[in-house]
């Protein structure tokens, strides 16, 4: 418990007591105060303790019931991926405030009410020993001041002597551990509880710095692997159910009362204050239920109380009550997610359905510096208007090898990794420099952020889709697994990246684009003053083609792009189309045709009629004519945007699947990227977000309050 409370103290910020309470703190304090008051007026009548020291134990029990186990609550919130939502932030911050305040009150109250004295079983104990209380207060104050003023100087010196990337020096490590043991181990000299002493010392240590993070990491490892299994074994051993007085009505009254006080009082306080500040009562109830969570320290004290004037039956009642304070938490979080999902449309991650006034979020994946020029040009033409602009998350796709894995370090307190492999660091620095140079020159309307997807090819797609979900990405753009040689031929490429691309297409939470670079990256600068490149979008039909058209509408706003929309229509006068027309289309196909006509009519009226976008129709009879038409585009366009296919069984692409080399590109994309096709036309193949029923989870960044 000394380890546990020391780590808890390091993660607390004592300066919050000297600041104006935030909204999070106010809600937490409201629940804490209501629970404390109700517990103080209720628990004395339930005979939890012997009459001798009832006041002391009542105050202590009321404080414990008022607190929140912030480590348990934080772990629950992060595991359910709502930590970045408004209610998730409130719960984490409010839980920390409540836990810190109650732990601090218990630590200070121990000076006045030293519970260890009552645990000795003496029937006559001096109520207040003024001399000992003053001596303990002064000693604790000296310890706190020493830790507060000396520890920053010492730890900063150790951090400066041991910069990131180098192993900690053994002598400095030994001195640091000895220093922490010193400031935590003074308590036996002045009759103070060592567990609370460790907490008081922990809150005085600086939270930032390499050494503090290292200590928290190691302590959490010890707690998880050694302490918690032994702790729960000890708890089970102490809770002897043979001594549980289940036959007595009073036992169940005390159990129910304790649960009602711990949970009901907290909910009541939060609901009342929530009504005052305008929080919906549904959310207030959920917040109160989650603030009532108790944890390891509460269980520890419940077991200890069996030796401090309470019966084993009472201790078991407390442990069961603590269990009931936690068991409802997953259901409450699930209810929060369910309510949020009703407010947030589940099919918003398609470009076709996005608000044009909303910032476009793109996850731009690159394999290395060779993908950067084409990515920059694609960013440039996608910017459109500077308001609202686009937010680009540039993600390095790096295969995790044993050599790279040996250089990875995990940052404590955040789901981030630091890769110290020299080759990876140099590559990432080079990519970052290239994107930063672009932003410095063309920063208007574009925001760049860097992310990393380092995993084996088996897990990389999952990392990318999870990242896209967490960041609420609307479009993932990945490079084609093949790269073009100087001769113009696409080389074989890396089959691992091809596997990743295909898996992303199956599982992405948003639309996906695959960029086949065949000279698009060689365009040095796309002018914003005059037309410098020709771009075409091919529309045949289906959801993916509609998505490609939606993306093209953003590209058309760039003054340096001349966009041409080419619609492939079936030539009804040909024998092939007459024969095909006798087939009765299914209801799904009729619905797709209707959606195609409606969306294209809207696009034509908004975009083409104004004259900025050129429009062309091609009446074709079969896939052979489609292929020859595509061949005629040679030398006309720098980039062609096409939908992957969308499952539309069109006569114009029928049979193309028979000679597909890369099915992930769709029939048209595969032809345009084929070795016998143009060596200078790049292709962007877009697949619209596939919504597979009700989504399982929810993005972290959402609002419910």
Structural domain includes residue 257? yes
Give SS3 for 448.
strand
Token pair for 661: 């080399």
Q: Say yes or no: 138 and 154 in one domain.
A: yes
Same domain membership, residue 268 and residue 165? yes
**246 vs 367 pLDDT, higher one:** 367
Kindly tell me the burial class for residue 484, based on how many C-beta atoms sit within 10 Å of its own C-beta (0-12, 13-18, 19 or more): buried
Which of 316, 343, 370 is the last residue in one of the domains? 343
Q: What is the pLDDT of residues 85-97, one digit of tens each?
A: 778 888 888 888 8
Length of the chain in residues, anyone? Answer: 705
**Residue 63, in any domain of the structure:** yes
Claim to verify: residue 339 and residue 369 sit in the same structural domain: no
pLDDT in tens, 518-557: 888 888 888 777 788 999 999 988 889 999 999 998 888 8
Tell me which residue range forms the domain holding 46.
Answer: 1-123+131-343
CATH number at residue 227: 1.20.1530.20
User: Does residue 431 sit in the same domain as residue 505?
Assistant: yes
Are residues 302 and 373 located together in one domain of the fold? Answer: no
Q: Which residues, 6 or more positions from 65, have their beta carbon under 8 angstroms from its beta carbon?
A: 35, 36, 39, 258, 261, 262, 265
Is residue 693 domain-resident?
A: no
Residue 608 has pLDDT above 60, yes or no: yes
Helix segments in 239-385, DSSP class H: 249-259, 265-277, 281-291, 296-304, 312-327, 329-343, 372-382
Q: In the prediction, which pLDDT does 236 show?
A: 80
> Please, what is the average pLDDT of the chain?
80
Average pLDDT over residues 554-582: 77
Q: How confident is the model at residue 427 (pLDDT cuts 50, 70, 90)?
A: very high
pLDDT band at 470 (very low <50, low <70, confident <90, very high): confident
pLDDT of 585 > 70? The answer is no
Using the 3D structure, point to which of 343, 369, 384 is the last residue of a domain.
343
Model confidence band, residue 692 (pLDDT cutoffs 50, 70, 90)? very low
95/335 Cα distance (integer angstroms): 19
Shared domain check, 467 and 440 = yes
- Would you say residue 168 lies in a domain? yes
Would you say residue 704 lies in a domain?
A: no
Q: Do both 337 and 361 map to the same domain?
A: no
Model confidence at 186: pLDDT above 80? no
In a domain, 513, yes or no: yes
Nearest-CA neighbor of 307 among 71, 460, 89, 121? 121
| Exposure string over 248-286, b if 16+ CB within 10 A, otherwise e | eeebeebbebbbebbbbbbbbbbbebbeeeebeeebbbb
Among 186, 171, 57, which Cα is nearest to 117's?
57
Closest CA to 38 of 262, 216, 195, 327: 262
Distance separating alpha carbons of residues 168 and 190, to the nearest angstrom: 34
pLDDT of 112 > 50? The answer is yes
Least confident range of 197-206, 208-217, 539-548: 208-217
Alpha-carbon distances of 456 from 326, 370, 399, 463, rounded to whole Å? 37, 21, 5, 10
> Do 532 and 584 reside in the same domain of the chain?
yes
How far apart are the C-alpha atoms of 348 and 381, rounded to whole Å?
Answer: 23
Q: Based on the structure, what is the number of domains in the chain?
A: 2
pLDDT digits (tens, 9 = 90+) for 478-498: 999 888 877 777 777 788 899
- Rg (alpha carbons) of the chain, rounded to whole number: 33
Give the number of other CB atoms < 10 A from CB of residue 346: 12
Residues 369, 339, single domain; the answer is no
Whether the predicted pLDDT of 452 surpasses 80:
yes
Above 90 in pLDDT, residue 514? yes
Confidence of residue 364 (pLDDT cuts 50, 70, 90): very high
Residue 574 reports pLDDT greater than 90: no
- The residue to which tokens 């409201």 are assigned: 30
Per-residue burial over 128-161, b = 16 or more CB atoms within 10 Å of its CB, e = otherwise: eeeeeeeebeebbeebbeebbeebeebbeebbee
Please indicate, yes or no, if residue 441 is contained in any of the structural domains: yes
Same domain, 216 and 70: yes
Question: In sequence order, which residues have a C-beta less than 8 Å from that of residue 316 and are 6 or more positions away?
Answer: 239, 241, 243, 244
pTM score of the predicted model: 0.54
Predicted local confidence at residue 414, as pLDDT = 44
């Amino acid at each position: 418990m000394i380890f546990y409370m020391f780590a808890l103290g390091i993660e607390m910020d004592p300066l919050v007591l000297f600041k104006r309470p935030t909204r999070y703190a106010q809600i937490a304090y409201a629940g804490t105060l209501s629970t404390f008051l109700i517990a103080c007026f209720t628990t004395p009548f339930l005979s939890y303790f012997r009459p001798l020291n009832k006041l002391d134990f009542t105050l202590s029990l009321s404080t414990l019931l008022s607190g929140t186990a912030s480590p348990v609550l934080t772990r629950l919130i992060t595991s359910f991926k709502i930590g970045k939502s408004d209610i998730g932030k409130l719960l984490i911050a409010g839980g920390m405030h409540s836990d810190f305040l109650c732990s601090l009150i218990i630590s200070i109250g121990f000076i006045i009410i030293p519970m260890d004295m009552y645990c000795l079983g003496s029937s006559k104990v001096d109520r207040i020993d003024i001399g000992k209380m003053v001596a303990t207060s002064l000693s604790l104050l000296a310890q706190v001041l020493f830790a507060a003023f000396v520890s920053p100087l010492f730890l900063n010196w150790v951090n400066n002597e041991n910069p990131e990337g180098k192993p900690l020096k053994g002598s400095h490590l030994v001195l640091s551990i000895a220093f922490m043991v010193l400031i935590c181990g003074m308590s036996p000299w002045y009759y103070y509880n060592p567990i609370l002493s460790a907490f008081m010392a922990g809150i005085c240590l600086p939270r930032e710095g390499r050494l503090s993070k290292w200590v928290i990491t190691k302590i959490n490892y010890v707690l998880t692997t050694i302490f918690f299994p032994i702790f729960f074994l000890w708890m089970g051993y102490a809770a002897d159910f043979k001594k549980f007085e289940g036959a007595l009505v009073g036992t169940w009254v005390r159990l129910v009362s304790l649960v009602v006080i711990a949970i009901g009082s907290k909910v009541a306080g939060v609901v009342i204050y929530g009504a005052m500040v305008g929080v919906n009562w549904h959310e207030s109830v959920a917040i109160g239920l989650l603030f009532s969570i108790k944890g390891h320290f509460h269980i520890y004290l419940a077991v200890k109380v069996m030796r401090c004037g309470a019966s084993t039956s009472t201790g078991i009642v407390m442990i069961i009550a603590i269990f009931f304070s936690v068991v409802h938490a997953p259901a409450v979080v699930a209810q929060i997610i369910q309510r949020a999902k009703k407010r947030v449309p589940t099919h918003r991650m398609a470009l076709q359905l996005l608000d044009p006034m909303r910032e476009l979020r793109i996850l731009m994946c690159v394999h290395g510096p060779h993908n950067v020029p084409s990515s920059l040009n694609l960013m440039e033409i996608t910017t459109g208007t500077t308001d609202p602009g686009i937010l680009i998350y540039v993600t390095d796709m790096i295969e995790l090898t044993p050599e790279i894995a040996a250089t990875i370090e995990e940052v404590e307190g955040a789901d981030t990794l630091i890769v110290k492999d020299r080759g990876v660091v140099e590559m990432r620095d080079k990519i970052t420099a290239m994107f930063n140079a672009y932003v410095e020159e063309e920063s208007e309307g574009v925001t760049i952020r860097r992310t990393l997807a380092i995993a084996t090819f088996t897990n990389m797609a999952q990392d990318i889709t999870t990242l896209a979900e967490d960041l609420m990405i609307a479009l993932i753009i990945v490079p084609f697994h093949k790269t073009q040689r100087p001769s113009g031929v696409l080389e074989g490429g890396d089959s691992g990246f091809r596997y990743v691309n295909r898996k992303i297409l199956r599982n992405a939470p948003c639309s996906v684009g695959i960029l086949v670079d065949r000279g698009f990256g060689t365009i040095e600068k796309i002018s914003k003053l005059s037309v410098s490149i020709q771009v075409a979008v091919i529309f045949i039909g289906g959801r993916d083609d509609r998505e490609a058209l939606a993306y093209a509408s953003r590209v058309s706003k760039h003054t340096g792009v001349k966009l041409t929309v080419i619609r492939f229509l079936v030539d009804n006068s040909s024998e092939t189309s007459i024969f095909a027309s006798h087939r009765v289309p299914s209801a799904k196909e009729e619905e797709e045709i209707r959606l195609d006509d409606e969306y294209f009519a809207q696009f034509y009226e908004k975009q083409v009629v104004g004259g900025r976008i050129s429009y062309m129709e091609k009446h074709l009879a079969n896939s052979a004519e489609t292929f020859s038409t595509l061949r005629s585009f040679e030398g006309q366009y720098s980039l062609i945007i096409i939908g992957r296919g969308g499952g539309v069984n069109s006569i114009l692409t029928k049979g193309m699947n028979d000679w597909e080399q890369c099915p992930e590109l769709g029939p048209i994309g595969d032809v345009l990227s084929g070795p016998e096709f143009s060596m200078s036309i790049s292709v962007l193949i877009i697949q619209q977000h596939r919504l597979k029923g009700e989504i399982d989870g929810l993005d972290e960044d959402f609002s419910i309050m």
